[in-house]
Amino acid sequence: MEHVGIAGAGLVGRLMAWRLLREGCRVTLFDKNDRHSRDNAGLTAAAMLAPYSEVVRGERIVFDLGRASLETWPRWLAELEADTGEAVFYRRQGSLIVAHPRDEADLERFERQLRHKVVPQPGAVERVGPDRLAALEPQLAGRFRHGLFLRDEGQLANDQLFAALERALLGKGCDWREGVRVERVEPGCLVTGRGPQRFDTVVDARGLGLRAEDRRLRGVRGEVLWVEAPEVSLDRPVRLMHPRYQLYIAPRPGNLYIIGATEIESDDLGPLTVRSGLELMSALYSVHPGFGEARVVHTRAHCRPAFMDNLPRIESGEGRMRVNGLYRHGYLTAPALLEDALGLLAGKPAGEAAYPELVHGGA
């Protein structure tokens, strides 16, 4: 039975460990934090599965990965439920893009760029007026004149996913080394403070932890607010156009909403700034006044690991593999990306990967 060592228990590390355990591998998972730590880019995200929205500012391949991942998630989540007995919140009811009247030019640009990059399936991208908007999200009735409905987009609850993966990993006998920092990744070997640990294969999924060694990687700071808003009921994620960013509101069970938008070229891991908080909250309030009385449950800030082209990379070499640079597209792209990574680990040639342009040699 193959023994795989994985460095990093973020989204990529956890998913890889879980898939490898299901395939019958032995897995040892290292992370610098304990398994309940929130010091993680994956837990700062809103986990929207929004290939159409994201292709507007991204490359076509992000859309392809996102579409494929939307098909994989339900299957993986069903398997995870079978492993743990608990369901992870997952919805696919589309998302709405709206703009206040003076930002309508941005909505127009959004749609134009979307249609330039992909030819949507019939009905996947729908311009909506006040009536249709009101039918989709009654609480937004009368608040916006125009919008776009992106029928195929979805979301999942990332905190539930992290917890479910943790249970599944422990249930399947993953050897989880908490609080152990991997300092170097060599072929078949993870070097920690306690010396080299040998495996048949190692996977480097350290995210921003790789930055000290690889200067091509950078942090892109994101900040989110969690609010509890009993007066607001939205069924699907809503994005609001703004001259400088797009605010998103992702609803979660129990009248919880995750609000985010910021994208700052910075490695700073410090708490939410007042300026970002003001921008997020004022935009939130402008979407629905019911948010005025919402409670701020918590705020989070972290940095997404990204390469200069903002595309993920699989670097595959003898006895080791590196998966990194998922940027703001972790949940959107992980299943499709990891299916390629798992194929390579199982000995499939790089040329047969579904996304060969993301596979590079010499990890």
Partner 1 sequence: MQDQWTVYGTALSSRLFMGSALFPSPQVMADSVRASGAEVVTLSLRRQSPETGAGQAIWDYIRALDCRLLPNTAGCHTAREAVTLARMSREIFATDWVKLEVIGDDYNLQPDPFGLVEAADELIRDGFKVFPYCTDDLVLCRRLLDVGCEVLMPWGAPIGTGKGLVNPHALATLRERLPDVPLIIDAGIGKPSDAVQALEMGFDGILLNTAVAQSTDPVTMARAFAGAVESGRLAHHGGVMPERQTAQPSTPTVGTPFWHENP
One of 142, 270, 351, 362 touching partner 1 (CB under 8 A): 270
Q: Is position 354 an interface residue for partner 1 (rule: CB under 8 A)?
A: no
Nearer to partner 1, 199 or 327 (CB): 327
**Who contacts 87 (Cβ-Cβ below 8 Å, separation ≥6)?**
77, 81
Q: Tell me the closest approach of the beta carbon of residue 107 to partner 1, in angstroms.
A: 13
Alpha-carbon Rg for the chain in angstroms: 20
User: What residue type is 310 in one-letter code?
Assistant: N
Q: Tell me the closest approach of the beta carbon of residue 207 to partner 1, in angstroms.
A: 14
For strands 256-260 and 295-306, give the pairing.
unpaired
> Is residue 129 within 8 Å of 145, Cβ to Cβ?
yes
Q: Which two tokens stand for residue 68?
A: 């494929």
Q: Is position 217 an interface residue for partner 1 (rule: CB under 8 A)?
A: yes
Q: Tell me the closest approach of the beta carbon of residue 78 to partner 1, in angstroms.
A: 34
Nearer to partner 1, 225 or 303 (CB): 303
Helix (H, G, I), strand (E, B) or coil at 56: coil
Cross-strand pairs, 238:
96, 249
Using the 8-state DSSP alphabet, how is residue 160 labeled?
A: H
Other Cβ atoms within 10 Å of 86 Cβ, number: 12
Q: Which of residues 242-261 bind partner 1 (CB under 8 A)?
A: 243
Q: Is position 186 an interface residue for partner 1 (rule: CB under 8 A)?
A: no
One of 39, 86, 265, 357 touching partner 1 (CB under 8 A): 265
Cross-strand pairs, 156:
90
One of 37, 121, 233, 266 touching partner 1 (CB under 8 A): 266
One of 124, 134, 264, 354 touching partner 1 (CB under 8 A): 264
> Is residue 177 within 8 Å of 186, Cβ to Cβ?
no
Q: Is position 309 an interface residue for partner 1 (rule: CB under 8 A)?
A: yes
> Is residue 4 within 8 Å of 25, Cβ to Cβ?
yes
Find, among 236, 257, 261, 235, the residue nearest to 248 by Cα. Answer: 261
Q: Is position 275 an interface residue for partner 1 (rule: CB under 8 A)?
A: yes
Q: Which of residues 126-185 bind partner 1 (CB under 8 A)?
A: none
Q: Tell me the closest approach of the beta carbon of residue 268 to partner 1, in angstroms.
A: 4
Mask: binding to partner 1, 48-77, rule CB under 8 A, as x and -? Answer: ---------xxx------------------
Q: Is position 194 an interface residue for partner 1 (rule: CB under 8 A)?
A: no
Q: Is position 101 an interface residue for partner 1 (rule: CB under 8 A)?
A: no
- Helices (DSSP H) in the chain: which residue ranges? 11-22, 51-55, 60-84, 104-117, 130-136, 158-171, 274-287, 330-345
Nearer to partner 1, 117 or 181 (CB): 117
User: What residue type is 22 in one-letter code?
Assistant: R
Find, among 38, 6, 2, the residue nearest to 169 by Cα. Answer: 6
One of 37, 113, 121, 233 touching partner 1 (CB under 8 A): 113
Binding residue count for partner 1, defined by CB under 8 A: 27
> Is residue 45 within 8 Å of 226, Cβ to Cβ?
no
One of 24, 101, 308, 318 touching partner 1 (CB under 8 A): 308
One of 267, 293, 352, 357 touching partner 1 (CB under 8 A): 267
Q: Tell me the closest approach of the beta carbon of residue 311 to partner 1, in angstroms.
A: 8
Residues forming contacts to partner 1 in the complex (CB under 8 A) are: 57-59, 109, 112-113, 116-117, 211, 215, 217-219, 221, 243, 264-268, 270, 275, 306, 308-311
